[in-house]
């Protein structure tokens, strides 16, 4: 069986001069020493069709960096990444949305940016409206939206019918209970069809309902790979003993 995702010795390096990437807050302390830091180092894993992977780890561990590499937003400085299939990603609330434009206009724009023709993007606008549940707000500027409304629009616009790989980075935590169920159902549908879901967040009960496998990441490295429920309990026990803030289950 061909993996949907194959990552080999991935490395992402952050450097601290004006021409380099912006460093994450947890790495900013290194700026004073005028050095560099690896956001990911020697990350290797495969995700097979039907895998639903939850990323565990404290803030700054490298979860978001890994998701951005999978989405093609970041190019790794070391190693290689292969993703087989069409990717839908929601990596931050409001990512890619233009605040002055309406929900309708943003849905069309995001469709074209996802690779659809203008006609294809236009043809699916009413589907995006219905799936977002925004009703009349769909015709209002996104600048008037709450965080939850932006997450609804972003997910409905990004998730195409033929999505093979769904990437979620904590944005589901901005959603209300009703729409979380929509996202969970879609994730399960993608997995059942032989796709892959990779999700990161601190809401472990929600990840419980989506994920069957976990990658525990710390310091930019994978420290464990195994069944989600088992690793979640180990991670929480370790985090509490270490004093690392976590969202209690």
- Residues in the chain predicted with pLDDT less than 70, given as ranges, are 16-35, 93-95, 171-172, 243-249
Residue 248 lies in a domain: no
Cα dist from 5 to 43, 68, 165, 205, whole Å = 12, 13, 9, 25
The total number of structural domains in the chain stands at 1
The pLDDT of residue 116 is 82
Residue 151 lies in a domain: yes
Residue 247 lies in a domain: no
Q: Using an 8 Å Cβ cutoff, are 111 and 121 in contact? A: yes
The pLDDT of residue 206 is 78
Task: Give the domain extent around 183.
Answer: 5-242
Residue 209 lies in a domain: yes
The pLDDT of residue 21 is 47
pLDDT in tens, 105-132: 999 998 887 778 889 889 999 999 998 9
pLDDT in tens, 19-35: 444 444 445 544 555 56
CATH code of 207's domain? 3.40.50.300
Residue 110 lies in a domain: yes
The pLDDT of residue 247 is 43
- The Cα 15–Cα 54 span in angstroms is 28
Question: E strands within 122-203?
Answer: 165-169, 196-200
Residue 181 lies in a domain: yes
Cα dist from 180 to 55, 64, 65, 210, whole Å = 18, 20, 23, 11
Q: How far apart are the first and last CA of the chain?
A: 35
Tell if the pTM clears 0.85, that is, is over it.
no
Residue 249 lies in a domain: no
Q: Which two tokens stand for residue 196?
A: 């892959």
Cα dist from 137 to 1, 105, 146, 153, whole Å = 44, 12, 11, 10
- Cβ atoms within 10 Å of 80's Cβ, excluding its own: 10
């Amino acid at each position: 069986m061909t993996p949907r995702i194959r990552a080999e010795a991935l490395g992402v390096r952050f450097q601290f001069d004006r021409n380099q990437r912006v460093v994450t807050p947890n790495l900013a302390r290194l700026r004073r020493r005028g050095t560099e830091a690896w956001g990911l180092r020697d990350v290797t894993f495969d995700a097979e069709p039907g895998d639903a992977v939850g990323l565990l780890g404290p803030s700054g561990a490298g979860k978001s960096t890994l998701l951005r590499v999978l989405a093609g937003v970041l190019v790794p400085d070391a190693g290689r990444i292969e993703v087989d299939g069409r990717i839908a990603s929601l990596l931050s609330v409001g990512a890619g949305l233009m605040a002055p434009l309406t929900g309708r206009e943003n849905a069309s724009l995001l469709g074209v940016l996802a690779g659809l023709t203008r006609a294809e993007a236009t043809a699916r606008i009413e589907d995006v409206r219905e799936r977002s549940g925004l009703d009349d707000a769909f015709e209002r500027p996104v600048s008037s939206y709450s965080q939850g409304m932006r997450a609804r629009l972003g997910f409905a616009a990004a998730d195409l019918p033929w999505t093979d790989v769904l990437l979620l980075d904590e944005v589901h935590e901005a959603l209300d209970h009703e729409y979380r169920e929509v996202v969970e159902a879609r994730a399960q549908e993608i997995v059942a069809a032989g796709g892959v879901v990779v999700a990161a967040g601190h809401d472990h009960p929600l990840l419980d309902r989506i994920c069957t496998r976990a990658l525990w990441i710390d310091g930019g490295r994978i420290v464990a790979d195994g069944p989600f429920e088992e690793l979640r309990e180990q991670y929480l026990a370790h985090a509490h003993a270490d004093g690392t803030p976590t969202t209690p289950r």
